[in-house]
Structure 1
Amino acid sequence: MANETVFVKILDKEYQVACPREERQALMESAQLLDERMKAIRGSGAVIGLERIAVMAALNLSHELLQAKSDSPAPVGVATDKADLQRLSDKIERVLAGN
């Protein structure tokens, strides 16, 4: 398994990542999904700052992954309970704001 260098662009910034050749496509797809999520969060205007946007995106994606792993019938990327996601988002915002 030889590693190769892959360049991914997230929020208009390029990152260099080493990964096994056979994981290249998955890395590119993951970076694209993260970029889309971060742009959506930035576009909402509710979160300011690259670090906060990244944390929000990571938490939202993690939440969706956990939901998908549970017995929930919702596929990854589909929120079945928007109220839960909104509460989680609000809580994260309060923590990041230091309140």
Structure 2
Amino acid sequence: MGMTHEERRIRRKQIASDVLAGKKPSEVCKKYQCSSAYAYDACREHGVPYRCYEQKNPSTLKIAKLLLDGFGQSDVARQLGVTRQRIGQVAKKMREVGFQF
């Protein structure tokens, strides 16, 4: 037999609480053996922002900080595990708004 309405309500609240506490959506779905759509609906029901993707790339701010600290584009790319082209894109935007490095 399946869960009662009350058990489902409690489960949805627990899912939303775990996402709010900072757990990755993929971890929450695995823990509760549910789809990402179900987890998304549970979060939406309880007003919790749900990010359905995992960030794979370092933030632009992290790249900018390393560039401003004097690291070369190739060094930053190697350190963060991204392409030198990505570092070049960030550097170009920084120069356009007036940063010098």
TM-score range normalised by the length of the shorter chain: under 0.3
- The alignment's TM-score, normalised by the length of structure 1, stands at 0.26
Which one scores higher on RCO, CA 8 angstroms, separation ≥ 6? 2
Asked which structure has the greater CA Rg, the reply is: 2
